[in-house]
Amino acid sequence: MNDEQLLRYSRHILLDEVGIEGQQAMLDAHALIIGAGGLGSPAALYLAASGVGHITLVDHDSVDLTNLQRQIAHTTARVGQPKVHSAAQALHDINPEVTVRCIEQHADAALLDELVSQATVVLDCCDNYQTRQTVNAACVKHKTPLVAGAIIRFDGQITVFDPRKETSPCYACLFSPEETFEEVQCSTMGVFAPLVGIIGCMQAAEALKLIAQVGESLAGKLLMLDGKNMEWSRMRTSRNPECIVCCNQK
């Protein structure tokens, strides 16, 4: 690290649990963020501010006026722009040292197989059940830790799936890929704006902890937030021995 970096990241370096080595790990890391909307915005902003050296953003959508109530990486002036490019501008405004790769397309299996293999950590910030399953399968295949968040109305949840650990469940252990149901979209159900900030920031925190090897991650634990009463509940999760995704991996 040069003198400017030592100054920029000094408040991290002052933490005994992070220090020079932890901050250098962040600078060397590659975070893959699926979704540049409500959850992806705060997650990406904090990862960039914290000095994660390489961030890849994947989103096929463009900025819409209805997004601005909660998607804080975007601005009124950037309505109509691809979300990945709008978010990249916001990240560079905070930290011009960060390398941001923008991929303006749907996160399909072939793309994720390529990108996940290059990532230190993956953040699932999307709002599509099938995409979540595809992201999870790629993370299991490449043994890449996955930080998953979700929000609808006044409810949020966050967990970590770490396929590097024998006992850690994957997303498919909790939510079967064979399950079929009607997708619930915030465009029809609504979402309380600050909650995406809470969950997105927690996703960034879990990703940074995994990168710098600080503390204990949320692997094996699902946190659920009732935003109306601002109450958290925690549920222990375990690997499903009959999971068709992670238990088929050697």
d(C-alpha 104, C-alpha 111), whole Å: 11
**Residue-wise pLDDT tens digits, 42-81:** 999 999 999 999 999 999 999 999 999 999 999 999 999 9
Q: CA 39, 101, 128: angle at the middle one, nearest 5? A: 35
Rounded alpha-carbon distances, angstroms, from residue 221 to 8, 52, 84, 186: 33, 25, 30, 25
With a pLDDT cut of 70, the percent of the chain lying above it is 95
Residue range 157-213, pLDDT digits in tens? 999 999 999 889 999 999 988 876 555 555 567 899 999 999 999 999 999 999 999
C-alpha 229/C-alpha 221 separation (Å) is: 21
Q: Encoding tokens for residue 164?
A: 């590097």
Report helix, strand or coil for 72: coil
In this structure, the number of other CB atoms found within 10 A of the CB of residue 158 comes to 24
Structural domain boundaries of the chain? 3-248
Instruction: Look at residue 177 in the predicted model and tell me its pLDDT.
Output: 87
CATH class for domain 3-248?
alpha beta
pLDDT one-digit tens code per residue, 100-140:
999 999 999 999 999 999 999 999 999 899 999 999 999 99
Inter-helix orientation angle 109-116/129-142, to 10°: 40
